[in-house]
Structure 1
């Protein structure tokens, strides 16, 4: 099963400093038929103006992954962590029993990021933070396994049976993504346009996939994220 999701039909919001595209219900965008996809609860595509950001605020019982696409993101939390990451880098936070953090764009350019929330395998995990800095070569014309479960092999490991893969594929190149039985995935067309099993996606579109292998062709240089998980 494949279902294309047109980014022009997603939820959105815009303020003087933040422009967001909501793949699922979030903030003042509420669609009772679009709350989650399996354990995937949130995918927000955010554009954050320079010298602005999200001030200190709480989270609880959620696995939160932030993937930076352009600009710089500075994270600070009540556990004493403070780090700045940039394009291709990923940040992980297990909110668990409760955590406060802030996220700011202290740079001069607009920050674009994907913030992704995953339901944990249980409540009340010990809060945790980590980040991983990748090179473009890690994902250039090949899949990079960025996030896995605790028993997996990815550099970022979370409290859920979920895998994140990214790829930057050159124009006209092709690749495959094999889906196991009883598995599903959510695809984000981060940049460029592609053809996936004869379905065209353009920048910021998405696709739900259930138990179906994928043949992917880059119609131009593309950047794709695949969030793979157990079938709901």
Structure 2
């Protein structure tokens, strides 16, 4: 206990409730969990979108210069890429993509399902923007489960509670799904130098020095020049049964970026070059 008291204790830095906009068929609704215009606050994360959509919303399209981490909340998500990959992800599954120098894929609802997803854009250091394109599916049952008093954790990425998640991003991150029953208390540990945020999928909880409810986002304080080997604590107490939180963390990259359309580069000239390369066929054939 004394050792834990010496650890950096996380606090809520900022908090907001996601606002949603309705769209016409086949897209249904979108909300910005992390709005793109605040990427400097979220570094190494760029944005996170929450979407409800049916088949035909995200057909074949390109990406370059960043990574994505997509969590399926509900429905089924079919992923197709032009490297021959095709799979269906179900609730609780996660897909990682390193777009690298040239990804071309499609993400769609399956049959009549309404896919409900959270897609996080994760930055790449500029010297890794030309890396090979990689896709990795992490099915919910493959994520190690840690039983805790009044609930359980699912570790998708990073080392949490002595378990290592299977997701292997080029920029190391942690991603943990925390499930708690009413009244359960849990202390989450993260590297103290990681920028971190959480999203409330369901229920309600006291988190550090504040309270979050369903659809609430909270960014957390961290030690910007901290020791990457040192841990910090995040105290959580659930107020409702079936409280479920996603906690993300990553070490800031501290480089200027230009997010524009489906690309994230270091300058507008590089963005224009990405569009030229796509139109010249350098991203390969369509994903279909």
Give the TM-score, by structure 2 length: 0.70
Contact 2:200 2:244 in 1 (8 A): yes
Paired residues for 1:55-74 under 5 Å: 55-74=59-78
Q: Which residue does the alignment assign to 1:123?
A: 129
Q: 1:165 to 1:137 in 2, by over 3 A?
A: closer
Shift of 1:22: 0.9
Paired residues for 1:41-80 under 5 Å: 41-49=46-54, 51-80=55-84
Q: Which residue does the alignment assign to 2:186?
A: 175
Shift of 1:190: 1.5
Shift of 1:137: 8.6
Report the Cα distance in structure 1 between the residues aligned to 2:173 and 2:124, rounded to whole angstroms.
Answer: 10
Aligned to 2:39, what secondary structure does the other structure show?
coil
Q: 1:193 to 1:139 in 2, by over 3 A?
A: farther
2:247 to 204, 220, 226: 226
Q: Which has the higher contact order (CA 8 A, sep 6+)?
A: 2
Contact 1:41 1:118 in 2 (8 A): yes
Aligned to 2:112, what secondary structure does the other structure show?
coil
Contact 1:165 1:226 in 2 (8 A): yes
Q: Which residue does the alignment assign to 1:165?
A: 176
Contact 2:44 2:195 in 1 (8 A): no
Q: Which residue does the alignment assign to 1:96?
A: 100
1:40 maps onto 2:48 in alignment = no
Contact 1:183 1:210 in 2 (8 A): no
Q: Bigger shift: 211-220 or 81-90?
A: 211-220
Gapped regions of structure 2 (runs ≥ 5): 1-10, 223-231, 255-288
Aligned to 2:57, what secondary structure does the other structure show?
strand
CA deviation string 1:106-154 (max 9, x = no partner): 24332211001100232111001110111399367222220249xx942
Report the Cα distance in structure 2 between the residues aligned to 1:148 and 1:100, rounded to whole angstroms.
Answer: 27
Contact 1:139 1:168 in 2 (8 A): no
Higher fraction of helix: 2
The alignment's C-alpha RMSD in Å is 2.3
Q: 1:94 to 1:164 in 2, by over 3 A?
A: same
Report the Cα distance in structure 1 between the residues aligned to 2:109 and 2:174, rounded to whole angstroms.
Answer: 27
Contact 2:204 2:212 in 1 (8 A): yes
Q: Say which one has the larger Rg.
A: 2
Q: 1:179 to 1:110 in 2, by over 3 A?
A: same
